[in-house]
Amino acid sequence: MSKNSFYSIGDIKLGFGDFNLPPLLIGTLFYQGQSFVDRKNPSLFNEEKAKKRIDTQIELAKQYKLPHLIEISASDPHSMSVYLKFYLDNYELPFVLGGTFEARVEGLQYLKDQGITSDDFIYNAISNLKNPKEVEVLKKYRIQNSVVLILGSNNMTATQRFTYLTEKSQPNNHSIISGLEKLGVKKMLVDGGVIDIESLAHILETQKIISKSLKYPVGTAAGLFLFKFSSPRLNIKYHTRYRRASIMAIASFFSNFIFYGAIEDAKECFASVYQARAFRKTLKDLNIKLFHSF
């Protein structure tokens, strides 16, 4: 790995072009339905429980020596401002700005009012440049760092996903990548967009191709398709703690970043990625070519 094959976002090193650096693990806070957020008024939440979740992730990151970020999500604009105030009053930059489009717009204005520039956070996410409102938002707030989310079907192949990024199908004869560059986005994180386990297989192949040819950080929400089975209240047979850990281990071999999901799942996700990294190092030390990318 060359000394320049990573993005610096705050004190975070986000690798690209290879998978030598450990993946950046991103846990989502204030997602819709989170237990400590009031269901009738999402602007109300238990601050101590929110801090406990964040502090747990911070400690796990230190323990396992893995980079990490918090994604601040919100389903409505007012709640986003409340969440951001809480986070900025208690924790350091950078972070990921997620949630609905309307909530993100409110968040961008709030951050601007606080004097926080767009190189201090990652915008999540852009899927195309065909929404004039979103294009204007990217211009107005001078977005520097953004996730580019590939939207597709479960059987969309790696070649088709690569084409999604590179073909000139956007306004003014641009690809998504060239269009974002023209808008001033300097650091792009390509998210393959998981639907099911078949799509994850195609996405990991896509990530290897993009990493090698386009030199962008690649990653995905590897366990997203398990979410509908994630609560024992739904069906204890399908409780996903162990399945999530196994998927995280697999994804970590070919990802520069991973949205691991609800921040409550941090313990198994950090431990899983750490063990997978240790296994990878063992393969390298023993010169075992189990995976072609090593």
What is the model's pLDDT at position 289?
A: 83
Select the more confidently predicted residue: 291 or 156: 156
What is the model's pLDDT at position 154?
A: 85
Q: How far apart are CA 276 and CA 10, in angstroms?
A: 26
Mean pLDDT of 211-216: 95
Residue 215: pLDDT band (50, 70, 90) is: very high
Among residues of the chain, what percentage have pLDDT more than 70?
91
Residue 152 has pLDDT above 90, yes or no: no
Element spanning 203, H or E: helix 197-213
Residue 127 has pLDDT above 60, yes or no: yes
What is the model's pLDDT at position 79?
A: 97
Mean pLDDT of 127-143: 97
Domain-wise residue ranges, the chain: 6-285
What is the model's pLDDT at position 294?
A: 43
SS3 121: strand
Among the listed ranges 38-52, 114-128, 229-243, 266-280, which one has the minimum average pLDDT value?
229-243
What is the model's pLDDT at position 4?
A: 54
Residues forming a β-bridge with 148: 126, 190
SS3 154: coil
Beta carbons of 94 and 12 less than 8 angstroms apart: yes
Residue 231: pLDDT band (50, 70, 90) is: very low
Residue 140 has pLDDT above 50, yes or no: yes
Residue 168 has pLDDT above 70, yes or no: yes
What is the model's pLDDT at position 57?
A: 98
Q: How far apart are CA 43 and CA 83, in angstroms?
A: 8
Mean pLDDT of 63-73: 98
**pTM for this one?**
0.92
The sign of the torsion formed by the CA atoms of 215, 20, 63, 223 equals positive
Beta carbons of 5 and 16 less than 8 angstroms apart: yes
CATH superfamily of the 6-285 domain: Dihydropteroate synthase-like (3.20.20.20)
Query: Cα torsion for 178, 180, 185, 187, to the nearest 10°?
Result: -60
Among the listed ranges 39-53, 111-125, 194-208, which one has the minimum average pLDDT value?
194-208
Among the listed ranges 51-65, 86-100, 192-206, which one has the minimum average pLDDT value?
192-206
Mean pLDDT of 268-284: 94
What single string gives the DSSP state of each residue in 209-255? Answer: HHHHHT---EEE-TTGGGGGG--TTT-GGG--HHHHHHHHHHHHTT-
Percentages helix, strand, coil for the chain, rounded to the nearest 5?
45, 15, 35
Mean pLDDT of 169-175: 96
Structure tokens at 110: 């709030």
What is the model's pLDDT at position 21?
A: 95
SS3 272: helix
Q: How far apart are CA 144 and CA 119, in angstroms?
A: 5
Considering only CA atoms, which of 245, 237, 239, 240 is closest in space to residue 266? 245
Element spanning 190, H or E: strand 187-191
176-193 tens-digit pLDDT:
999 999 999 999 999 999
Mean pLDDT of 86-94: 97
SS3 137: helix
Name the average pLDDT for the chain: 91
Residues forming a β-bridge with 45: 37
- Buried b vs exposed e over 106-135: b needs ≥16 C-beta within 10 Å? bbbbbbeeeebebbbbbbbbbbbbeeeebb
What is the model's pLDDT at position 94?
A: 97
Element spanning 69, H or E: strand 68-72
